[in-house]
Structure 1
């Protein structure tokens, strides 16, 4: 049998919430009766949301589906300044819990029809009198639509305690709004066949509640002096990686500096030898990057290379006055200084991540993967070419050669973000 709705009705309900979030940009969202966490899994991709909380009485179901809310690898590899925390609670929507107070948006999708009428009264007091969100979205089946559902006898679900008509739902919602300082609007999802919409309405009816004093105020029924109650059990909580975390910011910035250092060294060797690194070119192509000389990356390299060329010329002039033996002993140790000011102004991402030249210097100082000049003003980059025998020595972990060099790191090392964060 072909589905009656396209998209499916549950998807339409979730999309209604998502559209509301896009328009109103709530920072804190709670889903009551979150079940399999389907709505939460969709809302976690919306950057305006900073806290997602789910509440359900079925703890086993929450434990089963919580893993779908965890960050994925790209969240660790490419963190942004967005902040997101997700919390799952086991508990009844008829009980108070101070951790759910003052949210921007509370949703209750196809939940209230599973409550007895006395529990529904308590639910109304908990949500609108105690939690007191800026807005709330509540959906429930519309019993007037039931005759259009093929094969349906009685309620749509065996656990439903009631199914209201549009008039019954609106009467309850208006009463709750007047009692708690809200206004309410009515709509729905799941349109009836042509010519029957006005007669039967939507398959799922929706009430959208707005607190009268808006985001920055609290109505007079919000009990600030009420004793904090924690009746829910926290089953799961996770903070998504964010550049607001100093440790993550430091890690990403250091990786970016090493990345540009490696590009600089490859460009230097190409210009000296006239040979292109085919493996590196293939990697660039796989990433969708353009040639170093024709892209923005090439412009950055040109800016830094001009400075390095001047520095190298000065070093060569100094070497003319040194003995051959002294040159050999110093050759392994001498690095070209690249001022952090050049790196900061030439590499937009480095500048954006650090915020200021002072911050860049502060973050890089003391990092074992980065070598700075004695006064901390320059990044020291070893651009010298190596003989094949010396390159083989680099591959020996215990050769001791790396310890003899002042610039031991020639490439960005891969990091296991998920393990280290």
Structure 2
């Protein structure tokens, strides 16, 4: 029996445990960077497997806490993820699972649905449970691993910066990570199918919370006021023109103003106005250009009309899957799902903060079908996953790592490129 067959069979045996882990996590959804109940459960499970773990994270800077609260997140004073090691020595491959939920109330008939007003409607509970299953498989094969598998249970993916916090806190060091792999469930795809992109895999997302300070007063004397709503309107038009006049028409750029607010009555010019602008693109050059120009243009327009402005920025880069690593890992992944159930697809226009990791080390990101076409999508309050894929996900994680390490041993390679 091949290594892949052994891993697949063991994952199927562990399926009831993986389901149990997933359902427990599903009932305790937490959002943001600080997930105490989720982390406590994962630490307990790793202890039961005899896998050493460490907390990865620490206090958040007060300004970052304030910025995220301004963006609508609850108060987050710290970020906490978990890293765990299986095996020893170089090389080292990282397996990442995100574990945060969404501020969405779940609406379905599941007996284990969440009751606290939040919901795992992006499937991160299943990612964490599948990685626990892979951990069990790899721990049982630890004496046959020619190197190290590092597990990363990551918070704050939905903030767009959880992976950045983990990188900043040393998740890719001690031991040094040489390659990284992550997967994501997709309820719109037939269960068991695997999809991935090579090169740019997901869009970047740059968010600007623009707070304009004017000078309020009676609408009958506008000459005595500074109208922040008028300024906001001009800013919105100006930044939209940037897309059509300063980015390559071949680049996919989507700019959206999701929030524009200010004022309380028709006969009052308010003191303040606020815009929340998001820019998604698959073109890294366009992202860099707009990240310079949007703040610059905003400040000039606001100053031209004698206002003041404060801009809070959040930046999540494109996830980039290195082609050589994808081709290598695709063979190992195909041994689990069957090569006929795999396909290369165009990059997604959504955003995934695994990009912070693929900026530092070679990485691969893929989607595991966990539903069927026409099913409620990710981020829907009605989203439901086919739990039969949980053993597949565990086997994909485990075989990707074991096969990558085995190839390094056989070829003498030390890099993941």
Q: TM-score, normalised by structure 2?
A: 0.20
Q: Which has the larger radius of gyration?
A: 1
Q: TM-score, normalised by structure 1?
A: 0.20
Instruction: Report which of the two has the higher share of strand.
Output: 2
Higher RCO (Cα < 8 Å, 6 or more apart): 2
Instruction: Report which of the two has the higher share of helix.
Output: 1
